[in-house]
């Protein structure tokens, strides 16, 4: 890389060029989710704990030509709390591909993680893509596969959904008034999962309520016998597939109070599908861990089909042994699942 490139961190106002860069880089893909500035600002600068030093940029002639975002998340394995750097949005102008710009930023990200004494780095990659090979060269290993499921939400199809699934509870929409009780149940239900660290009310407000400004949608909870039996989030994403813009209803954070409560899980999924159809979405999508057969069966029983896979990769920077997690599912920190 020649000396005409300037390396620096994020400054307010850079988001316009960063978003333009992201869309130019990933717009080459057959399927991608276009970014808008408002979403980027919510996802990064407005996120609790944001550190501008975790955003690395390469600039040439006053133009940002390559970028990488790293944010620090907490995770728990047994009684040990781990701190991982999550790498997102590695983007380079297509005309500059192959010149080592992404590698330069990745080296900075690794140095940042070492400076912060993190236990490791994590990211998502297309297992068939070129970036997967690049990350391997820098010591990243495949940690967990994620499955991407989709379902058609045509009018005739969704009209049958409610009659096929008798609702045994009452649904309430998440609001600022009931956020605290939902947060308590959300954390309690996820305590049994690997790689989850309890979220504060402020973090969950950012994740589930503040996001509605940039991701149309909502979170619903099901009440049974006066208690929260489970919940889930629906957000509407605009995707471009083979040059055509499509609105997808994305299902996230579906959980049940009781482990593997099939009845409640199905009712929540069907509620979210109904809401998605009501927002004129013709398709629904969900991404789950590959070794969660309960969730796979829940989606498949609701008419979802697997279409693709993504791989989560990690680079270890401490004595953490990933073999310790062999008995459990490997979950990405939940903020990272918002793509």
Cα gap 257→30, rounded to integer Å: 38
Q: Is the pLDDT of residue 326 over 70?
A: no
* Residue with more model confidence, 76 or 298: 298
pLDDT digits (tens, 9 = 90+) for 90-139: 999 999 999 999 999 999 999 999 999 999 999 988 888 889 999 999 99
14: tokens are 């850079």
List Cα–Cα distances, 201 to 9, 148, 208, 245, in angstroms. Answer: 29, 29, 10, 35
Map out the domains of the chain with their CATH numbers: 5-145 (3.40.630.30), 147-310 (3.40.630.30)
List Cα–Cα distances, 303 to 166, 273, 318, 338, in angstroms. Answer: 16, 11, 42, 23
Give the DSSP H/E element, type plus range, for residue 162: helix 161-164
pLDDT of residue 289: 80
Burial of residue 164, with CB atoms counted within 10 A of its CB: 0-12 exposed, 13-18 middle, 19 or more buried? exposed
3 pLDDT tier (thresholds 50, 70, 90) = confident
Q: pTM of whole model > 0.85?
A: yes
């Amino acid at each position: 890389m020649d000396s005409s490139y300037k390396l620096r961190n994020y400054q307010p106002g850079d988001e316009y060029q960063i978003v333009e860069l992201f869309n130019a880089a990933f717009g080459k893909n057959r399927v991608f989710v276009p970014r808008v500035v408002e979403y980027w600002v919510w996802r990064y600068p407005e996120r609790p704990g944001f550190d501008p030093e975790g955003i690395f940029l390469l600039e040439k002639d006053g133009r940002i030509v390559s970028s990488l975002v790293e944010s620090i998340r907490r995770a728990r394995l047994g009684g040990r709390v781990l701190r991982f750097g999550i790498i997102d949005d590695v983007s380079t102008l297509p005309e500059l591909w192959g010149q080592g710009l992404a590698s330069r930023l990745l080296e900075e990200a690794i140095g940042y993680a070492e400076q912060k004494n993190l236990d490791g780095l994590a990211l998502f990659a297309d297992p068939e893509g070129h970036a997967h090979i690049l990350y391997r060269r820098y010591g990243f290993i495949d940690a967990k596969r994620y499955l991407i499921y989709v379902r058609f939400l045509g009018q005739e199809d969704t009209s049958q959904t409610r009659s096929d699934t008798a609702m045994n509870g009452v649904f309430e929409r998440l609001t600022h008034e009931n956020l605290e009780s939902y947060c308590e149940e959300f954390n309690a239900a996820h305590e049994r999962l690997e790689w989850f660290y309890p979220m504060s009310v402020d973090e969950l407000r950012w994740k589930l309520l503040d996001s509605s400004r940039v991701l149309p949608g909502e979170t619903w909870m099901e009440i049974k016998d006066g208690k929260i039996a489970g919940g889930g989030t629906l957000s509407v994403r605009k995707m471009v597939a083979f040059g055509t813009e499509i609105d997808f209803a994305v299902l996230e954070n579906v959980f049940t109070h009781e482990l593997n409560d099939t009845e409640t899980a199905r009712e929540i999924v069907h509620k979210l599908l109904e809401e998605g159809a009501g927002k004129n979405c013709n398709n629904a999508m969900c991404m789950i861990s590959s070794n969660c057969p309960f969730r796979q069966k829940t989606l498949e029983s609701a008419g979802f089909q697997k279409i693709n896979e993504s791989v989560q990769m990690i680079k270890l920077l401490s004595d953490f042994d990933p073999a310790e997690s062999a008995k459990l599912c490997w979950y990405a920190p939940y903020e990272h699942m918002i793509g």
